[in-house]
Structure 1
Amino acid sequence: MELSAQGMGVSIGKKEIVRNVSILVKKRQFVGLIGPNGCGKSTLLKSIYKSIVPQSGTVHLGDMDILNTTEKKVSRRLGVVGQFNEMNFDLSVHQMVMLGRTPHKKLLESDKQEDYDIVEDALARTNLLHYKDRSYLSLSGGEKQRVILARTIAQQPQFMVLDEPTNHLDIRYQLEILSCVKELNIGVLAALHDLEMAAYYCDYIYAVKQGEIYAHGTPEQVLTPETIESLYQVKCQTYINPVTHGLGFAYGI
């Protein structure tokens, strides 16, 4: 099964944000979207998971036509973790994660032991078992993001979209969240702003510039000094990070 978006076009008002973009995520592949702020990464992702209606294009997850399928059916296969998860009402952490079981239930169907077991596993994977009775609103930003990830894991999706889930978090929570997602061994499409994180976690990368795909390939093929300068207007040198053994970057103006 693959997640495929073809010919995506999105305009907001009179401004064209995404132009004829096509991307592919294979089974168990971690694919990254990189590019400067305002380049269209998040808009593209929102059009893929139906938060924004695209003016053109198609999105398929295996044989499922996502843009013409109900939210509930899509949510059984595709999970989404965004970057802002504020609420005006409060639930416990356990209650929040249990919401991830909703796509698999009929109207007013009660929770079963299987649901409790799946939620317990999601809490364990995200190191939240000792938080389960805590108020969601009492948590820090990084802790809230782990709860949202646990809720998404509880959906048991076959693919996951990460819409810049770590760009307001400190390094510890960035590593915890991306490592947890990587260990799920499912297809992932993630918008990332940290190039070292992208180099370390991604199997394949699409670089976005002014609403179009500027380059795509493996991290080594895409994250070159020339491409980075074109995308971000900064000069850089790449090197092998002695800790991660992946690409590292040294920047200059």
Structure 2
Amino acid sequence: MNLRTYLNDFVDLVFPRSCAACNIGLLGNEEVICTFCRISLPRAHSDGMHADTIRYKFVNLPEVLATYTFLLFTKKGKVQQLLHALKYRGNKEVGVTLGQMFGQELVAARALPDGALILSVPLHAKKKQKRGYNQSDLLAEGISLACSLPWSGTILARTKYTQTQTGKSKSERRSNVNGVFKVTQPIDTGTIILVDDVLTTGATLEECINTLKQAGCKQFYILTIALAQH
């Protein structure tokens, strides 16, 4: 056992680290999410029972070539615990870690094309300042690291401050985000990978796509960390 291992064990003893999903103490080289949770978090497999639900969210947009969701969100479950830690408790490491985990599975499945640009769904500047970061940026960063694809959190911007989408119907959500995005600079690829945290009705992502289409983007892949189940 080397000096670094001793030091890590000492730090864990004095300042115990816990899994962001289950709150059980992390062991050895475990980081952010314990090994058991990494394996057992409920996956939303692209060929599983939720595949049609995910696919039909964007059936009216033929430019969307594929939609992939990593995990299933249930109230009081581990995925909710992780997303709450990311969005409301300032645990930014959760975002990068979840993005890397998702990205690794996408790479293994050869799900994404070469030459695409990853864009995160933006927050309004006022909301981002209040939170201190955009959780979708962190997810996109992790996916980028795993997939070796470039990403940007500034090319797509939100120009209007809107009410939360929570509790709204799909038509209300569409109205709420209508015309709120803009492209801030030229995009040199026609293929975009859009990253968001939770897939509900898909209204926000749909508005992002409509904005990007006007900027000349032709093909889209949608990645979300979790599917909200109703």
Structure 1 or 2: more helix by fraction: 2
TM-score normalised over the length of structure 2? 0.32
* Greater RCO, CA 8 A, separation 6+: 1
